[in-house]
Amino acid sequence: MKIGLLGHGVVGSGVRKIIDDGATWEVRELAVKRILVKDESELTDPRCTLNFDEILNDPEIEIVAECMGGLEPAHTFAKKALEKGKYVVTSNKKMLATYCEDLFETAVRNGVTVHYEASCGGGIPWMAALDRTRRVDDIDSFRGIFNGTTNYILERMKKEGKDFDEMLAEAQKLGYAERDPSDDIDGFDVKYKVSLSCVKAFDTLQDINDITTFGIRNIRREDLEYCAANSLTCKLIGTGEFHGDYISAFVIPMFLKSDDVFSNIPLNFNAIESDSKTLGAAAFVGQGAGSLPTAHAVVQNLVDIWKNQDPEINDKAVRPVDNQAHTGVYYIRTAKHAAFADIIDRNVSEHAFITKKISLMQAADACAASGDEKLFIAEVA
């Protein structure tokens, strides 16, 4: 089966290597025929091209593996491939989460499918696990550490007692964080992954802008000192909950108890857990990024398509996100206490307090109304 590869960077080069190496008989049934690159400096392989139409109009190419990153031209290229009756496999969580409904409708209309194992959890077989669980069971919820960069920063801050900015700089130096780390530290990367996990776990589409999202940009040493004094650990957690006609979906730092399965996940690892009616809790831990782990997930989808064994169905229902259904107790550090007077249960420092038990939306609305762009919020387990 011939593959058209879009992008030859970190993930794309890994896909090409795995297929070219052909370690198993299944992989040897695949072949990369064309590789789309950005400029002439990347024309390092005779299969490379600067012209997407060479892939689009080649009848031998049955699958397009999109590993470009970014919204455009990735979205346009993926849609054109689907309209041509080609399967699409993507590792691009931002693009797919943003244009999921459009691409899925295009796939259904043209009798093909979009596959996205590599978009969430890197090499962890998270999407495949959700598929297998849903063959037998309804999934009630999932939660997890979906971002290795923020987990690394939080772990290092805890162990070294150093400031956020210093640990972010260290993560950037090691290649864990981008030069512009906004998607990671503001929680957007996790938001995209939560959205796609909801698609798979709950068979539903939702507007990513409705997913309540808080990151760790504003975390300070004093917040982790509160955790240490109370035997808690801070992790950035993405969560999805199924409520029938609607779902809850959100991203927020959480102060976890020491016996929580996620409290000891080290450095840049990911860990994700689903909870279903008969299987119960099932957790997956591993590298959530990197060239070969992510490429491995892409190739898994390619093999599934070749073997016609992928259960992917792109015809999904649309359900609203309602985070009133999720309630909790929250730690908030802010310079504007007065804006939160109605929800404060007790003060824990000059600038921080614990809320009464309230809905996540009530907490989010209070944070927005305060106008404090430097506040930090975490849910307390």
Q: Which of 236, 283, 227, 282 minimizes the C-alpha distance to 257? A: 227
Sign, CA dihedral 96-100-104-105, equals negative
Report how far residue 279's alpha carbon sits from residue 261's, in angstroms, rounded to the nearest whole number: 17
Quickly tell me which residue has 């190496």 as its tokens.
21
Q: Which of 249, 283, 290 minimizes the C-alpha distance to 267? A: 290
Element (H, E) at 170: helix 164-173
Query: Tokens at residue 49, please?
Result: 């091209």
Quickly tell me which residue has 């939660």 as its tokens.
143
Report how far residue 256's alpha carbon sits from residue 321's, in angstroms, rounded to the nearest whole number: 24
Strands (E), 197-326: 204-205, 212-213, 232-242, 247-257, 269-276, 280-287, 317-318
Q: Are strands 87-90 and 114-115 parallel, antiparallel or unpaired?
A: parallel
Q: Which of 51, 45, 80, 41 minimizes the C-alpha distance to 64? A: 80
Report how far residue 56's alpha carbon sits from residue 77's, in angstroms, rounded to the nearest whole number: 8
Q: Which of 306, 290, 262, 278 minimizes the C-alpha distance to 65? A: 306
Write out the DSSP string of 205-219: E--GGGSEE--STT-
Q: Out of 193, 200, 235, 316, which one is annotated catalytic?
A: 193
193 part of the active site: yes
Query: Tokens at residue 291, please?
Result: 């060239």
Each residue of 49-84: b (16+ CB within 10 Å) or e?
Answer: beebeebbeeeebbbbbbbbbeeeebbebbbbbbeb
Give, in order, the Cα–Cα distances in Å from 63 to each of 67, 90, 131, 193, 305: 13, 11, 21, 23, 9
The catalytic residue positions are 193
